[in-house]
Amino acid sequence: MIKAKPKPIEEIIHEIKDCSKVLVVGCNGCVTVCEAGGLKEVELLTSALRIYFMKSNKHMEIDETSLTRQCDKEYLQELEDRIDRYDAVVSLACGAGVQLMAEMYGDKPIFPGVDTCFIGITEEQGVWTERCQACGQCILASTGGICPIARCAKRMLNGPCGGSENGKCELSILVGRDVDCGWHLIYERLKRLGQLQRFGQPSDDKDWTLSRDGGPRIIVKEDSKV
C-alpha cells in the first residue's frame, strides 16, 4: 500500500492561516493503515488546529470528515454539496487523492496534509518500509522476489556494487541507519532457492519508459470500461 507521514502542523497552519472556514478530509484507504491520514489523524489534526487558532484569537471554523477513498470520483462526490461552504480543504489523502480532489473542485484551494512517501509494507506497528517503486515492468521473478529497483539505492539491474559491505549498503553512513544491500538480499535468497546461476547471465535492459521516464502513465483495461 501507499505509505505517507503527516506533514508538520506548522506547515498546515501556514497554508490555511488566511482562511476562515476549512474542511479537513481524511482518506480511509492506504493512509489510514499507515496512521497518517485516516479519521483518527483527521480528529487529531482538527483538534490541534482549533486549539491553535483559538489560542491565536483568530476566528476559524474547522470541520472534519473522512471518505472511503479519495482516488475515486464517486467518493469525492460526497463533498459536492458542502465544499462550497469552505475557503479551502486540507486533504490527508496521498498525492493522488489530493490531485483528484483539486481536479474535481477546480476553484477550491486543496492543501496536502501528508507527505506521500512510497509503496511499502508494515514491518511492525508503527514501522513501514519501502518495497516497490511502481516501475511498470516487474522483474521480481528473476530476483528471488526481492526488488532491486526499490531496494538498491542505485536501482542496479546487475548487482551488488562495490559499496556493499557485510550485507549493508554504503548509503547507511549517509542516512544514519543500517540499510540492507538489496542485491545481497537477492543473492542470499537465490542461494536458498538454488538459483545462483541467475548471476551468470546479466539482466536484459529494462524499458524505463514504462516507469517515470515515459511520463505520467495510464492503464486502460478495455473490458472493464463501461
Residue closer to another protein by CB (options 45, 152) is: 45
Q: In what order do the strands lie in the sheet with 61-67?
A: 61-67, 21-27, 88-91, 110-112
Rounded to an integer, what distance in angstroms lies between the CA atom of residue 27 and that of residue 68? 6
Residue closer to another protein by CB (options 7, 151) is: 7
- CB of 13 vs another protein, minimal distance in Å: 8
Residue closer to another protein by CB (options 43, 130) is: 43
Rounded to an integer, what distance in angstroms lies between the CA atom of residue 130 and that of residue 2? 9
SS3 204: coil
- CB of 8 vs another protein, minimal distance in Å: 6
Residue closer to another protein by CB (options 51, 210) is: 51
- CB of 49 vs another protein, minimal distance in Å: 8
- CB of 12 vs another protein, minimal distance in Å: 10
Name the site residues for another protein (rule: CB under 8 A).
8-10, 13, 40, 43-44, 47-52, 54-57
Rounded to an integer, what distance in angstroms lies between the CA atom of residue 189 and that of residue 144? 6
Q: In what order do the strands lie in the sheet with 2-6?
A: 2-6, 114-124, 127-132
**Residue 222 in grid coordinates:** 478495455
Rounded to an integer, what distance in angstroms lies between the CA atom of residue 135 and that of residue 143? 15
Task: Judge residue 158's burial from the number of C-beta atoms within 10 Å of its C-beta, 0-12 exposed, 13-18 middle, 19 or more buried.
Answer: exposed
Residue closer to another protein by CB (options 13, 153) is: 13
Rounded to an integer, what distance in angstroms lies between the CA atom of residue 206 and that of residue 47? 48
- CB of 35 vs another protein, minimal distance in Å: 11
Rounded to an integer, what distance in angstroms lies between the CA atom of residue 36 and that of residue 32? 6
- CB of 58 vs another protein, minimal distance in Å: 9
Residue closer to another protein by CB (options 7, 184) is: 7
